[in-house]
Chain A
């Protein structure tokens, strides 16, 4: 049976905005008369050191996510749905033959892509859920790591929410369609 290709595209700009927004709102709601500096520190922004920390977390979370989805990622058969990838030796790192610790690149047009090869009986109705939960997982992990530095009290909850996102992703990936009778 032919596999169903499913491509999840996550825009870096959307991920960063969500992280900034969550840390901003959390900071605002924690603001008191004597914690201005603490609140300012927990609100992430686009300054270089902040962005570098966030990009590192986003990259780490993205790779953890791929590990969770590994059952459905067949990179050595990568036909690459990655932009401009023709799967020759130039894109080995994208296809899993090489790895490095280079931080992901920043930019409004940057995307993180996951190419899934789902079974033919996969219920594609859950694709939207998977992409939203993937987004949310990366955001929650990034905020958790950010708060681990700036606001430890809130960090644990974001790790828990990220774990819950993985549960939903696995559930959505496991939904299957009833078989259809073949014509004779």
Chain B
């Protein structure tokens, strides 16, 4: 039987910088475009132009979406209760960072926090590339769907392995 009544929690803030995310997103798209089998360089540059004007607005929207998705995945460790009763779909396209406030079990190890950080970064990158492939290069789309699913699983596993420390209630049976 699991018990989740932690007496204490460690507050951690994971911050993903957009500049770091964009570098990996643009590099990923560049390499995919470079190796894609096509005679038409126009198709190739459409894949590679993910970080260009207007396209970056699409990317910003997707980063916002995956930010929300990951917060939801981590909601068990979110310190925030509902504090606002209204919201809209306006996003800050110039947002320079994505923050993940977490209230982690006090016994969670630092290595897990580092792993979480890497997983979140990679999941955000993979999500955006997956979405971009669905538009510009469908042959690659499924590959990135699998990557996203894999990273989501790893994120859940990481939390369950270390964060979800299991305390067994003494029982005579």
Contact = CB atoms under 8 A, between A and B. Distances in A.
Interface stretch (B2-10, B25-33, B98-106, B155-163): B25-33
Interface in B13-42: 17, 19-20, 22-23, 26-27, 30, 33, 41-42
Interface residues of B, number: 19
B57 to A, nearest CB: 12
Contacts of B17: 184
A83 interface: no
B151 interface: no
A105 B99 CA distance: 60
Contacts of A171: 41
Given A174-B44, A174-B45, A120 B52 contact: yes
Majority SS at the chain B contact face: helix
Chain A contact residues (Cβ within 8 angstroms of B): what range? Answer: 10 to 19
B27 A176 contact: no
A184 B41 CA distance: 32
A170 B51 contact: no
Contacts, number: 50
Interface string A145-184: 0000000000000000000000000110111101111101
A90 interface: no
A85 to B, nearest CB: 23
A118 B73 CA distance: 40
A3 interface: yes
Nearest to A3: B53
Interface string B44-60: 11001101110010000
B42 A179 contact: no
A181 B51 contact: no
A121 B41 contact: no
Nearest to B23: A181
Query: Considering residues A120, A170, A174, A182, which has the most beta carbons from chain B within 10 angstroms of its beta carbon?
Result: A174
Contact of B42 (A1, A120, A170, A184): A170
Nearest to B26: A179
Given A171-B41, A174-B44, A179 B20 contact: no
Contacts of A180: 23
A121 B47 CA distance: 12
A179 B51 contact: yes
A176 B23 contact: no
A3 B53 CA distance: 8
A180 B23 CA distance: 7
A119 B49 contact: yes
Contacts of B22: 182
A120 B48 CA distance: 11
A176 B19 contact: no
Interface of B: 17, 19-20, 22-23, 26-27, 30, 33, 41-42, 44-45, 48-49, 51-53, 56
Interface of A: 1, 3, 119-121, 170-171, 173-176, 178-182, 184
19 contacts: A3-B53, A119-B52, A119-B53, A120-B51, A120-B52, A120-B53, A121-B30, A121-B49, A121-B51, A170-B42, A174-B45, A176-B30, A176-B45, A178-B30, A179-B23, A179-B26, A180-B23, A182-B22, A182-B23
